[in-house]
């Protein structure tokens, strides 16, 4: 997420009522989560597991809960609760703007696009040529939709990320300031939900086809020409490379990569990254041949137990 204009670190900290360690004249161009932070941006880290990732990232400034031995050239904002400070900044930069009409005046809709009755198009949405947006679709602010996209009834594009921090006795929600990009020639089935990025974007790649009742989590990047069947759930920060096929009721855990051309068969549970060009089955998902051999072995267990009187 980029700021309207770069801001000096000293001025930013004055705005946030916090102190810093480093060069007061460092310019901060925006803010982003650790996994998508770019050059000149600010990020935060509040767990030792991710200190090194943050400090070696392209970020110019890191909000952190203690001063590390090696800063790797980063300017630091040190605070006991980096999450809350970053949240405070996010809330300033991504305040909710209500709408009072079904298609916002600030939306850019191509003259050839068809918006069916009851569809909602939020602020600063872009919809390209020859799209069809069916009844009761909800498109949240800042969504970018390419050409020849079809979105079927009751789907929701750009809802908040499922992103919270556990506190003592409750979960604290983190605001979502990202957006969704749907590239050309995508078709999204009925009743699907695509969450926007926390600070960046969720992307559905060109030519991808999604069946009904599919969920895509925040900051996930779906490649080109993927097929995703009904009732699939894909967590946040997942990367599907091009031509991946995922069949019904598959669940994919967060922060994984599914390689190009992989095929994941129905009801699989994906808990680790998978190589491309292979077929997978089972929970946890294994290569199909391996999973089938395991199933055959399990079926033989009663016979083995009787034979050896186990």
pLDDT tens, 105-116?
999 999 999 999
> For residue 116, what are the contacts with CB-CB under 8 A and spacing of at least 6?
132, 133, 134, 135, 137, 153
Residue 310 has pLDDT above 80, yes or no: no
Confidence bin at 141 (pLDDT 50/70/90): very high
Mean pLDDT value of segment 125-137: 98
Please, which pLDDT band fits residue 177 given cuts at 50, 70 and 90? Answer: very high
Beta bridge partners of 164: 173
At residue 295, the pLDDT reads 86
Q: What average pLDDT does the segment 281-292 reach?
A: 94
Query: In this predicted structure, what is the pLDDT of residue 140?
Result: 98
> In degrees rounded to 5, what are phi and psi of residue 290?
-65, -45
Cβ-contact 151, 133 below 8 angstroms: yes
Please give the domain boundaries of the chain with CATH numbers for all domains. 2-93 (3.40.1390.10), 108-293 (2.160.10.10)
**Quick one: what percent of the chain has pLDDT higher than 70?**
100
Task: With cut-offs at 50, 70 and 90, classify the pLDDT of residue 85.
Answer: very high
Region 293-303 average pLDDT: 87
Decide if 258 contacts 239 (C-beta within 8 A): yes
d(CA 95, CA 97): 6
What's the pLDDT at 301? Answer: 86
Contact assessment for residue 214 and residue 192, using Cβ atoms and an 8 Å cutoff: yes
pTM above 0.85, yes or no: yes
DSSP state of 146: -
Q: What is the mean pLDDT of the chain?
A: 95
What was the pLDDT predicted at 309?
74
Q: What is the pLDDT of residue 35?
A: 85
Please pick, among 134, 152, 215, 218, the residue that the annotation labels catalytic: 218
CB 275 within 8 A of CB 257: no
Q: Is 110 a catalytic residue?
A: no
Condensed to tens digits (0 to 9), the pLDDT of residues 7-45 reads: 999 999 998 889 999 999 999 999 999 988 999 999 999
Q: What integer pLDDT is reported at residue 298 of this predicted model?
A: 87
Structure tokens at 269: 């549970």
Query: Residue 304 above 90 pLDDT?
Result: no
Model pLDDT, residue 221: 98
What does the pLDDT read at residue 238? 97
Over residues 147-169, mean pLDDT: 96
Query: Which of 118-132, 220-234, 287-301 is predicted with the least confidence, judged by mean pLDDT?
Result: 287-301
Query: What is the number of helices (H) and of strands (E) in the chain?
Result: 5, 33
């Amino acid at each position: 997420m980029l700021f309207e204009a770069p801001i000096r670190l000293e001025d930013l900290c004055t705005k946030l009522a916090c102190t810093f360690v480093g060069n007061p004249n460092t310019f901060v161009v925006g803010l982003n989560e650790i996994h998508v932070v770019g050059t000149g941006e600010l990020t935060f880290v509040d767990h030792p597991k991710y200190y090194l990732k943050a400090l070696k990232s392209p970020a110019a400034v890191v909000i952190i809960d203690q001063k590390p031995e090696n800063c790797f050239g980063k300017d630091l904002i040190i605070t006991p609760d980096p999450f809350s400070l970053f949240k405070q900044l996010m809330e300033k930069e991504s305040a909710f703007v209500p709408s009072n009409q079904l298609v916002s005046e600030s939306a850019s809709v191509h003259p050839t696009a068809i918006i069916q009755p009851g569809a909602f198009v939020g602020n600063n949405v872009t919809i390209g040529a020859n799209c069809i947006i069916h009844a009761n679709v909800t498109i949240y602010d800042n969504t970018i939709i390419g050409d020849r996209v079809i979105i079927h009834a009751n789907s929701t594009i750009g809802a908040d990320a499922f992103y919270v921090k556990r506190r003592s006795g409750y979960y604290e929600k983190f605001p979502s300031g990202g957006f969704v990009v749907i590239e050309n020639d995508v078709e999204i089935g009925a009743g699907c939900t695509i969450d926007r990025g926390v600070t960046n974007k969720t992307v559905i790649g060109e030519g991808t086809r999604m069946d009904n009742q599919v969920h895509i989590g925040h900051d996930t990047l779906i490649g080109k020409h993927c097929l995703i069947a009904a009732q699939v759930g894909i967590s946040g920060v997942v990367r599907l490379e091009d031509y991946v096929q995922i069949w019904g009721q598959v669940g994919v855990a967060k922060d994984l990569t599914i390689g190009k051309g992989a095929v994941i068969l129905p009801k699989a549970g994906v808990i680790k990254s998978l190589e491309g060009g292979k077929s997978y089955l089972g929970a946890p998902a294994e290569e199909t041949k391996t999973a089938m051999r395991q199933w055959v072995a399990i079926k033989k267990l009663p016979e083995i137990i009787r034979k050896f009187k186990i």
